[in-house]
Amino acid sequence: MQKLKVLITGASRGLGLAISKKLESEYSLILHASKEENLGEVGPDSHILCADFSDAEQINAFCKQLKKDHGDSLYAVINNAGLTFDKPITFQPEREIDAMINVNLKAPVMISKTAMKIFGLNKKGVIINISSVVGESGNAFQSVYAATKAGLVALSKSLAQEAAALNAGHEIRVLSVSPGFIETDMTDAIPETEKEKYLKMIPAQRFGKVEDVAEAVLFLLSDKASYINGTNININGGIL
């Protein structure tokens, strides 16, 4: 049987890389990074589609290519690519604000728009948007990042409702996943004193591993999760 196709954005490192490793035996993957050379070696069943999402024109070109190359067979999208520039908003240059909005929110919106067209024809598909714990709690010095992540939760819930409003008898699901503090390049940049402060807030008494998120994504994509829809799944060790 032919494997179902799944797009994973930001698959070059961190969570996206772990998700791609977790899914590769079961699915045919479309792997994205900002540049092809960042992806390294990819499996035989994998396709590559790269774009710098901080550039709105590249997002549009990416969506067009996605539809052209994979429009007949796309089963799922994991909108995972993301970036943050942590600082007080009064010191935040507009180019950083635009980059966070484009990469973290505009790209998932446009990719979801493309996917919803494809899923509407097939009456089947899954979108998982990788949000963050700070999308709900907020976080000092991450105001724009947190706003983009909150946007992904609302986008997912809205699209789940929209899929139902437009498609009778469909199997389309849209979800968000909100990781807490997971050990990746993104969190390596946080100073040790800050990390100690975060650790005290986590009932699981450890930071998350990329596998904690990848395992959940594998389950959420599967038919075993067919009744989990239009909601946000926290993976954060119990952060209050």
Ligand X SMILES: NC(=O)c1ccc[n+]([C@@H]2O[C@H](COP(=O)([O-])OP(=O)(O)OC[C@H]3O[C@@H](n4cnc5c(N)ncnc54)[C@H](OP(=O)(O)O)[C@@H]3O)[C@@H](O)[C@H]2O)c1
Where in the sequence numbering do the catalytic residues fall?
Answer: 145
Q: Which residues lie across from 5 on neighbouring strands?
A: 28, 74
* 219 within 8 A of 228, measured Cβ to Cβ: no
- Asked if residue 179 binds ligand X (CB under 6 A), the reply is yes
Q: Which is nearest to 80 in space by CA: 2, 13, 169, 157?
A: 13
Nearer to ligand X, 9 or 28 (CB): 9
Piece in contact with ligand X (CB under 6 A), picked from 114-122, 156-164, 182-190, 215-223: 182-190
Stated as kind and residue range, the H or E segment containing 19 is helix 14-23
Nearer to ligand X, 172 or 177 (CB): 177
Cα–Cα dist 180/200, whole Å: 13
- Asked if residue 151 binds ligand X (CB under 6 A), the reply is no
Name which position in 7, 10, 119, 233 contacts ligand X (CB under 6 A): 10
How many residues in the chain? 240
Asked whether the CA dihedral 152, 158, 160, 162 is positive or negative, the reply is negative
Piece in contact with ligand X (CB under 6 A), picked from 119-127, 165-173, 179-187, 225-233: 179-187
**Tokens encoding 113:** 């728009």
Look up tokens 């990074």; give the residue.
33
CB of residue 230 vs ligand X: minimum separation in angstroms?
Answer: 20
Instruction: Count other C-beta atoms under 10 Å from residue 49's C-beta.
Output: 16
Return the SS3 of 223. Answer: helix
Nearer to ligand X, 164 or 204 (CB): 204
Piece in contact with ligand X (CB under 6 A), picked from 5-13, 70-78, 117-125, 158-166: 5-13
- Asked if residue 142 binds ligand X (CB under 6 A), the reply is no
- Asked if residue 46 binds ligand X (CB under 6 A), the reply is no
- Asked if residue 16 binds ligand X (CB under 6 A), the reply is yes
Cα–Cα dist 6/54, whole Å: 22
Name which position in 49, 56, 83, 202 contacts ligand X (CB under 6 A): 83
CB of residue 200 vs ligand X: minimum separation in angstroms?
Answer: 16
Look up tokens 């989990």; give the residue.
228
**Tokens encoding 42:** 């990819």
Nearer to ligand X, 16 or 151 (CB): 16
Piece in contact with ligand X (CB under 6 A), picked from 66-74, 90-98, 161-169, 183-191: 183-191
Q: How far is CA 85 from CA 26, 97, 182, 198, in A?
A: 35, 8, 17, 18
Residues within the interface to ligand X (CB under 6 A): 10, 12-16, 33-35, 38, 52-54, 80-83, 103, 130, 132, 179, 181-182, 184-187
